[in-house]
């Protein structure tokens, strides 16, 4: 299996963020996440770790807006030019709900427009790292389109909370959506999101599309981020009505309940009959993840991988969350080995 990895992710190293409550906490989405995964994969005789190819900005702009990319590219430098505070770009105190507003060159205003939450501090290296992650996803998409049974895009930062022109939840560019959009030129695509948190960005991007089925299993958003999206009544709109499905799960969800729900989701995907599957693989479902209240075990992750692989679809696996660094590499391998 080809594993696409770029050490450009090391350029993105926020020191802290502002979770609910307003107190700063150490940033959980650290470079060690990707480094521990690639270290374990280097030891797997079936994994071929390679750098991504360069696809340029065009496939990214098919998902994200040009003003949004410009913001990610320039925000840190512009903020530093007018502030003595080093290390992070401006964190907004308020946010717009008017997506038609006219943007000025004012950094606080732009940040309040493009940031969905305070979980996404932009640093000097964020844009570079996010672009490299997107190239990893596109390289993986190309590999499966060319006939590979499966490929793994070791993306950091993750992406499934990023919408067309908003970032949130540690995510800046929606790697899975960018890959799925690229693959959609070759037939129908299904995106299955198994991250602990709802894939609201992916949902939003494809919500009115009938050619891309989006399915997400996640903690019930009535208690977990992103809170405003991920509910069962959200099933798509317009031409995309019926082509999105959310499976919110309760506190303490164990292997049995998760696999039962997953099988229902897999039946939905099988009936859609896609040409390709994009799997947003968040290992924060694991029982000992600091952000999880699920009870999914390591053997449970093995079975999750086997169940998804049983679809026999050409599959791109894209790294999303997972914050127990000690267990993350082993859990990723447990998921991937079913596709070998």
3-state secondary structure 81-110: HCCCCCCCCCCCCCCCCCCCCCCCCCHHHH
- In this prediction, residue 107 carries a pLDDT of 67
> Which segments of the chain does DSSP mark as H helices, in order?
31-42, 58-61, 66-81, 107-114, 126-145, 175-183, 200-206, 255-272, 298-309, 325-336
Q: Residues 80-93: what's their mean pLDDT?
A: 63
Given pLDDT bands bounded at 50, 70 and 90, which one contains residue 92? low
Omega into 275 within 30° of 0, i.e. cis? no
Question: What is the average per-residue pLDDT within 78-85?
Answer: 69
CA max distance for the chain: 56
Q: How many CB atoms lie within 10 A of CB 262?
A: 19
Question: Can you tell me the distance from the alpha carbon of 124 to that of 155, in angstroms, rounded to the nearest whole number?
Answer: 18
Summarize the confidence of residues 170-179 as an average pLDDT. 97
Question: CB–CB of 198/226 below 8 Å?
Answer: yes
User: Among 63-77, 193-207, 321-335, which stretch is predicted with the lowest mean pLDDT?
Assistant: 63-77
Tell me, what's the pLDDT at 76?
85
**Would you place residue 296 in the very low, low, confident or very high pLDDT band (cuts 50, 70, 90)?**
very high
> Residue 113's pLDDT band (boundaries 50, 70, 90)?
confident
Number of H helices, E strands in the chain: 10, 10
In 3-state terms, what secondary structure has residue 287?
coil
The answer to whether the CB of 336 falls within 8 A of the CB of 317 is: yes
Q: What confidence score (pLDDT) does residue 334 get? A: 98
* pLDDT at residue 24, rounded to an integer: 63
Taken in order 160, 166, 171, 173, the sign of the CA dihedral is: positive
More confident residue, 296 or 80: 296
pLDDT of 31 reads 97
Q: What is the token pair recorded at 177?
A: 């959506």
Q: What pLDDT is recorded for position 117?
A: 66
Instruction: Please indicate whether residue 161 is annotated as part of the active site.
Output: yes
pLDDT of residue 26: 72
Mean pLDDT throughout 140-155? 98
* Average pLDDT, rounded, for the chain: 92
Structure confidence at residue 79 (pLDDT): 76
CB 137 within 8 A of CB 175: yes
Average pLDDT of span 262-282: 98
User: What is the pTM (predicted TM-score) of this model?
Assistant: 0.93
Hey, where are the domains in the chain?
Answer: 2-339
Which CATH superfamily, name and number, covers 2-339?
A: Histone deacetylase domain (3.40.800.20)
Higher pLDDT, 50 or 83: 50
| Candidate list 160, 161, 197, 244, residue with the active-site label | 161
The answer to whether residues 290 and 323 touch, using CB atoms and an 8 Å cutoff, is yes
- Of 14-23, 35-44, 51-60, 67-76, give the lowest mean pLDDT range: 14-23
More confident residue, 85 or 47: 47
In this model, does residue 84 exceed pLDDT 70?
Answer: no
The answer on pLDDT for 98 being more than 90 is: no
3-class DSSP assignment, residue 248: strand
């Amino acid at each position: 299996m080809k594993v696409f990895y770029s050490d450009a992710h090391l350029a993105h190293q926020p020191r802290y963020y502002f979770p609910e409550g307003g107190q700063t906490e150490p940033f959980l989405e650290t470079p060690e996440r990707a480094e521990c995964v690639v270290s374990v994969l280097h030891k797997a005789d079936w994994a071929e770790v390679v750098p991504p190819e360069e696809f340029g900005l065009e496939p990214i702009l098919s998902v994200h807006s040009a003003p949004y990319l410009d913001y990610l590219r320039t925000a840190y430098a512009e903020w530093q030019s007018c502030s003595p505070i080093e290390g992070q770009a401006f964190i907004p105190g308020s946010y717009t709900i008017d997506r038609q507003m006219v943007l000025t060159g004012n950094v606080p205003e732009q940040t309040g427009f493009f940031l969905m939450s305070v979980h996404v501090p932009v640093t000097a290296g964020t844009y570079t790292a996010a672009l490299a992650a997107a190239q990893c996803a596109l390289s993986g998409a190309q590999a499966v389109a060319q006939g590979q049974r499966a490929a793994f895009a070791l993306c950091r930062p993750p992406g499934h909370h990023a919408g067309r022109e908003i970032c949130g939840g540690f995510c800046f560019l929606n790697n899975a959506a960018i890959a799925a959009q690229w693959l959609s030129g070759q037939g129908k695509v299904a995106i299955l999101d198994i991250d602990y948190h709802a894939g609201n960005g992916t949902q939003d991007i494809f919500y009115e599309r009938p050619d891309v089925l989006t399915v997400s299993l996640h903690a019930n958003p009535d208690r977990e981020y992103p809170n405003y999206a991920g509910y069962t009544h959200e099933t798509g709109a317009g031409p995309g009505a019926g082509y999105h499905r959310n499976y919110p799960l309760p506190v303490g969800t164990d292997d049995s309940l998760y696999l039962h729900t997953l099988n229902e989701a897999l039946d939905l995907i099988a009936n859609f009959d896609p040409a390709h599957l994009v799997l947003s693989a968040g290992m924060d479902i694991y029982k000992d993840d600091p952000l999880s209240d699920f009870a999914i075990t390591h053997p449970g992750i093995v079975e999750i991988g086997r169940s998804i692989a049983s679809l026999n679809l050409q599959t791109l696996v894209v790294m999303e969350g997972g914050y127990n660094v000690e267990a993350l590499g082993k859990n990723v391998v447990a998921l991937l080995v079913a596709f070998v």
